Structure 1
Amino acid sequence: MTTASHDATLRARTEDLAEALALAGTRLDRATAQRVETAVEGVRRRLELGVDHTVVAFAGGTGSGKSSLFNKISRLTFADVGVKRPTTARVTSCSWSDGAEPLLDWIGVDRERRITHSEDLEGDGAAGLAGLVLLDLPDHDSVEPAHREVVDRVLPLVDLLVWVVDPQKYADDALHTGYLRGQVGSESSMVLVLNQVDTVPDSQRENLVEDLGRLLADDGLAGVHVQPVSAKTGEGISRVREILEEACARRSVAAGRAAAELDGAAAALLAQTPADVPWQLDAAVDRELEPVVGATGLDAVASQVGAAVRNGYGMPELPAPDRDTIALSRARWLTRAGAALRPGWQRSLAESVSGADRLRAAVAGALKGVDLDVRGPASSRAMRRAAWAAAAAGLLLVVVGTLAVTAVLEVPGPWDQVLLVVAGLLLVTAVVLTVVRVAMRRRLARRRAAEVARRGREVVREVLVHQLGEPTQRVLVDHRRVRELARSARDLPSSRPLTGALRLPTEGTSSTGAPGEGDRATAST
C-alpha cells in the first residue's frame, strides 16, 4: 500500500469518527467525547503536516535516564540531565530534517529547545535517521503537575513512543496504570527501553526483561519490544538506533501511530455504544397500545355508543385519560427501549420522546376526532311508523271483524272472515317490522361500538407512533450509525511491533495492514 493510500485510509477513518462524534453529540460522556475529538483533530493536523517525518518521543519517570539516552542517540549534549532536569516542563527536540519546523510548532516545542542535526556529525550514518524528529519529554511522575500536563498533551501527537524505565521503578503503578494500559492497540508504535542495566548483575538481566514483559502482558500489551540498554556505558545504544532507523524506514510508523489513535478513540466510542439495540417500532407500540387505551376508557364509551344506538337515546363522552397510567406507560416504554443504552443515550431518549402531560394531551386531542355517532338506522323511523300504522289498522279490523262475526254489525258474508284475516296479516306485519327494526338497531349498535373502539385505537396508536415511537427510532438509528462508524474506524489490522531487526522499503508495508515483502528482509544486528 502506498503512502497516498495510507493517507486516504486514515482520512476516511478520521472522517468516520468525526461524523460519529457529531452524530452522538452530548450523548457521549465528556471524557469519551474529548478523546475522540482530540484524536480526530490530531490525526487531521498530522495528515496536513504529512507523514514524511517520524516523530519519536522518549518518555519516562524521574531518574530513568531518558535525557542521557536522548543525548547518546543524538550524539549531542543538549537535553537537560541530572539535577536540572526536574526544573523544566519544556520539551526538547532534535530533528534529522530541515523541514520539521511546522511539525514542531504543532507539537508545541519552544524554538530555543530545538536543534537540527547536521549530517557532518554522523557522516553516512545520518541517512538511516532521515526524517526523524526526536523528542525528550518531561518526567511523567514529576511532583510538578505542569510536567505531566505536557506529557499528556504531547503523547497523542507522536508517531513512536519509547518508554524509558529503570531497574528500580519499571513496575511503577503510575506508569502502568496511568499510561501503558491506555496504549493497548498501539503496540506497533511503542518500544520499552530498560535503561541502567549496567547496575544489574549479568545473571539477573534476562529475568528482569522477562518480568517487564510479563507486566506488559498484564497491561494487555502484546509483542512490545523490550530493549535493555545503558546510556552510561553505551550498551544497547546501537540497537536503539536500529529501532529508530526501522521506524524511519517504515514510512507507515507515522500513519500507524495515527491509526492507533483512531483505534483507541473508536474503542472508547464503541464502549458508549456497546451493542445493537433489538427494538422494533410496531412491536413496541403494540405493547403499550392496550394500557394507554385502558387509560382513556375507550371501550366503555364504545359500549355506551352501542347502547345509545340500540335504545335511541343517550350521548356518551370520552373522559380525560388517566395521567398516572399514561406516565407509567411512558416510563415502561423508556425502560424497554433504553435497556441496552448507556446513560447519555438513555437521557437523550427520555428528552426526545414526549413527556407524560404532553402525551396525555395528545391522546385526549386525538380521541376528540373519533365520531361517537348514536343515530339509529336511516329507515328506523319509517319502519316504526309503518309498524304502528299496521298495528293500529290491524286492531281496528279485529274489532270490526269481531263485531261482524257476533252479528253486532251486519256485514255481508264472507267479508266478516276477510276482515279478520286482513287484521291478522296487519298485526303480523307490525310485529315483523318491529322485530326487523330492533335487529337493525342492534346490528348497527354493534357496528358503531366496534367502529368507535377500532377508530379510537387507531388514533391512540398514531399518537404513540408520533410521540414515542418515531423519536425513539431516531435516537436508535443514530446509535446504530455511531456504532457502525466507530467499527468502520477501528476494524483494520495493525502493523508489526518495531524490533530493529527489519528493514522495510518505503512502499512495501501497509501503515494499517499486514507487512509487505520487505518485512522478510532481515538486517544483521
Structure 2
Amino acid sequence: MSEDVRARRGRGRRGEDRRGRELDPAVEVPDLVARIEESLAVAGDRLEPGLRQRAEDEVGRTGARAALGSAHTVVALAGATGSGKSSLFNAVAGFTISTVGVRRPTTSHPVACVWGTGADPLLDWLQVPSRHRTVHDSELAGGPGSAMTGLVLLDMPDHDSRELAHRADVDRLVDVIDLIVWVVDPQKYADEALHADYLRRLRGHDDVLIVVLNQVDRLGTAEREAVMGDLRRLVREDGLPAATVMATSTVTGEGVAELRTLFADAVASRAMALGRARAALREVASTLRGTVADDEPFVDDVGGDDRLTEALAGAASVPAVVSAVETGYRRDASAYVGWPFTRWVSRLRRDPLRRLGLKDHKLTGELGALARSSVPEPSRAQLARVDLAERQLLDTATQGLPPRWAESVRQAPVRTEDLRDALDQSVVGTDLSFPRPRWWVAVGVLHVVLAAAALLGLLGLLALFALEFLQVPYPDVPTLSGAGIPVPVPTALLVAGLLGGALLALVAGSVVPARARARARVAQARLEAGVAMVARERVLVPVADVLADHRRVRDLLTP
C-alpha cells in the first residue's frame, strides 16, 4: 500500500470549529447550510447576482443530495481520452461493463456499476440512463461484495471530448459526486486544460479527490519516480496538497486492490457524501466571505452625529423657533410682572409662537401627523449644508466596504423631500409649553395690591378735591407722619402704589431676560432632541442597519 493511500486512510473526515475542536460532517453540513442561507437572506441584493445564484445552486444541490440519504456513496472515474479510465473501471468492478476500444471517445454516457440495491432514485438524480446501469452481485463478481455494498461507481465521459454533450456531463457530475478519481496517463498528466479547468476547481476538496497515474506499466523505474514526483508537485500547485496521488495499471493489476480498499473505506464511513458537501459548502462560504470586508466603520445611531444634527436643526429653523420662545417668554412675563398700568401694551404684540403655528399643539395620532408649522422653508444653503453633512457621514460609513455594500449604505437614508416633512413634524411635535412660573403669580398678586393702593389713594384725593370744590365740609383726613412731615393717607397710598409698582416692575423686568434665555435653552434642547431623532430614524439607523447586516454576514461566513 502506497504512502499516499495509508495517509488517506489515516486522515480524519472531520472539520474543526473556531476553537479547533473536531466537528462531525453530519453536524457541520446542516450548520453550513443554515449559515449560508441566512447570509444570503441578510445580504440580499448586495451580492453579485451570478455569485448569489451559484451559492443558491450549491445549497440546493446539497439539500437534494442529502434528501437522497447516505446509504450510497458515489465514486466517479474521470479522465481524458486514452487515459484508460474505462479499463480501470472494469478492473475495479471485476468484469467488463464499460466499453474499451480504439475508437475515441469510447464512453459517450455515464456508466454505473452499483453494489447493492435501491440506488435508482440517486441514479435518476445523477441522470444516468437506465440502460447504462449494472447491478454488481456475487454471480457476476465471482464472490461476495458486502464490503462494497452501497457503492455507486461511475465511468464518466472523457472531459476532453469534442462532443459538447460529453463535456457537459462531466462538468455537471463533477459538482455532485461524492468521491472523484481523476485518471491521468503518463503522456497527458500535465495537460493545462485538465489542471486549469478541473483540478483547480476542486480546491478545498482534497478529502474527496484521488489522482491516479494509470498505465505506469509503460514506464521504467526512473521514469515512474520522475513522473509521480512531477504529478504530486502539479497537484500541490493546483491547491490540493492533501489529495491522494497513486499509481495504477490494469495490465499488472497494480493499485487496483488499493482503489477497492479506498472505495470500501468510503462506503463503510458513510460520510463521503457529507464530506463532499462540506467541502463544497466551505468553498461557497469562503467565496461569499470574500464579498465582505474584515471590518466596518462605526456609526453612532444613539448619540448621533453632531454635524448632521446641527445642519438639520438649521434646516428645521430651530434658531428661529428658539428666538420665538425667548420673545414669547418676555411677552408673557410682561403680562404678569409688568407695571399694571402699562402691561396692556405687550398684549398688542402677537405671540411669536402662535405666528409660527407652534402654540399649544394638542393634536395627536393622524391629526397630529397632519399638523404643519409656519416656520420658514429651508433655504438652498441650509439644504446644501444638510447634504454636505450627510455625504461626510456616508463617506465615513463606507470606508473599506466592498462597492455593492458601500452603495447600499449610500442608498439607506431617506431622501431629502421626505426629510423636510419629518423635520417639520419634529418641530410641531416638540413640547414648547411650560408651566407658569410661580414667581410670576407672586409678583402679579403684589402688583394688584400696589395698584389697588394707588387706586384707593387716587379715589380718596379725588373725593377730597370734590368736597373742597363744592365747599362741603369734610372730616379730618388721617395722616402718616414720616420725618416729622404729616402725609395724608390718600396721598401716601397713591405715591406708594405708583412708586412701589414701578419699582417692582423694574426689578422683575431685570430678571425676565435671564429667565427667558434659560427657557430658550430648554426649548432648544428639546427641539434638537427631536431633530436628532429624525437624524437617527432617517439617516443613522438605516446606515447602521446596513453595517449591522454586513457584520452579520461576515460573522456567519467566518469559520
Q: Structure 2 length as normaliser, TM-score?
A: 0.72
Residue of structure 2 in register with 1:29 after alignment: 48
- The aligned runs of 1:65-144 (5 Å cut-off) are 65-81=84-100, 84-86=103-105, 90-124=109-143, 126-144=145-163
8 Å CA contact retained: 1:384, 1:434: no
- Where structure 2 has 5 or more consecutive residues not aligned to the other structure, the ranges are 1-11, 15-23, 332-345, 357-373, 459-476
Match of 2:310 among 278, 290, 307: 290
Match of 2:226 among 207, 223, 245: 207
Residue of structure 2 in register with 1:148 after alignment: 167
Are residues 88 and 193 of structure 1, via their aligned partners in 2, closer, same or farther at CA, if it must alter by over 3 Å? closer
- The aligned runs of 1:232-271 (5 Å cut-off) are 234-271=253-290
8 Å CA contact retained: 1:323, 1:360: no
Match of 2:385 among 304, 318, 325: 325
8 Å CA contact retained: 1:284, 1:333: no
Amino acid at match of 2:525: R
Match of 1:191 among 194, 210, 214: 210
Are residues 19 and 79 of structure 1, via their aligned partners in 2, closer, same or farther at CA, if it must alter by over 3 Å? same
Task: Please tell me whether residue 337 in structure 1 is matched to residue 397 in structure 2.
Answer: yes
Q: C-alpha deviations, 1:373-398, integer Å up to 9, x for none?
A: 799975599599779969999xx9xx
Amino acid at match of 2:258: R
Residue of structure 2 in register with 1:505 after alignment: none
Aligned residues: 476
Residue of structure 2 in register with 1:464 after alignment: 535
Residue of structure 2 in register with 1:356 after alignment: 416
- How far apart are the structure 1 equivalents of 2:47 and 2:265? 39
For the pair shown, the structure with the greater C-alpha radius of gyration is 2
8 Å CA contact retained: 2:157, 2:167: yes
Are residues 387 and 442 of structure 1, via their aligned partners in 2, closer, same or farther at CA, if it must alter by over 3 Å? farther
Structure 1 residue 287 displacement after superposition: 6.0
Residue of structure 2 in register with 1:399 after alignment: none
Amino acid at match of 1:288: L
- How far apart are the structure 2 equivalents of 1:201 and 1:450? 96
- Fraction of identical pairs, as percent: 38
8 Å CA contact retained: 2:398, 2:409: yes
* Secondary structure, counterpart of 1:171 in structure 2: coil
Structure 1 residue 352 displacement after superposition: 4.5
Structure 1 residue 340 displacement after superposition: 4.9
8 Å CA contact retained: 1:281, 1:469: yes
Q: C-alpha deviations, 1:424-473, integer Å up to 9, x for none?
A: 86676345323333234213321332133111111112212222344344
- How far apart are the structure 2 equivalents of 1:115 and 1:204? 37
8 Å CA contact retained: 1:160, 1:190: yes
Residue of structure 1 in register with 2:523 after alignment: 452
Structure 1 residue 134 displacement after superposition: 1.1
Q: Structure 1 length as normaliser, TM-score?
A: 0.76
More displaced stretch, 373-382 vs 346-355 = 373-382
8 Å CA contact retained: 1:387, 1:433: no
Amino acid at match of 1:10: V
Are residues 287 and 174 of structure 1, via their aligned partners in 2, closer, same or farther at CA, if it must alter by over 3 Å? farther
Are residues 122 and 77 of structure 1, via their aligned partners in 2, closer, same or farther at CA, if it must alter by over 3 Å? closer
Amino acid at match of 1:106: W
8 Å CA contact retained: 1:92, 1:135: yes
Residue of structure 2 in register with 1:443 after alignment: 514
- How far apart are the structure 1 equivalents of 2:251 and 2:538? 72
Are residues 434 and 55 of structure 1, via their aligned partners in 2, closer, same or farther at CA, if it must alter by over 3 Å? same
Amino acid at match of 2:284: A
Structure 1 residue 99 displacement after superposition: 1.8
- How far apart are the structure 1 equivalents of 2:128 and 2:40? 29
State the Cα RMSD in Å. 4.1
Residue of structure 1 in register with 2:326 after alignment: 306
- How far apart are the structure 1 equivalents of 2:404 and 2:445? 67
8 Å CA contact retained: 1:89, 1:150: no
- How far apart are the structure 2 equivalents of 1:25 and 1:184? 27
Structure 1 residue 331 displacement after superposition: 3.6
8 Å CA contact retained: 2:454, 2:496: no
8 Å CA contact retained: 1:231, 1:237: yes
- The aligned runs of 1:413-432 (5 Å cut-off) are 414-415=485-486, 429-430=500-501, 432=503
- How far apart are the structure 1 equivalents of 2:117 and 2:55? 32
Task: Please tell me whether residue 10 in structure 1 is matched to residue 26 in structure 2.
Answer: no
- How far apart are the structure 2 equivalents of 1:58 and 1:345? 42
Residue of structure 2 in register with 1:405 after alignment: none
* Secondary structure, counterpart of 2:281 in structure 1: helix
Structure 1 residue 47 displacement after superposition: 2.3
Match of 2:248 among 226, 229, 232: 229
Amino acid at match of 2:259: V
Are residues 286 and 191 of structure 1, via their aligned partners in 2, closer, same or farther at CA, if it must alter by over 3 Å? farther
Q: C-alpha deviations, 1:11-58, integer Å up to 9, x for none?
A: 344334334333433332223323332332222222222212110112
- Where structure 1 has 5 or more consecutive residues not aligned to the other structure, the ranges are 397-410, 492-525
- How far apart are the structure 2 equivalents of 1:173 and 1:387? 109
- How far apart are the structure 2 equivalents of 1:281 and 1:139? 59
Q: C-alpha deviations, 1:276-317, integer Å up to 9, x for none?
A: 545342245556323322443423542354245446655566
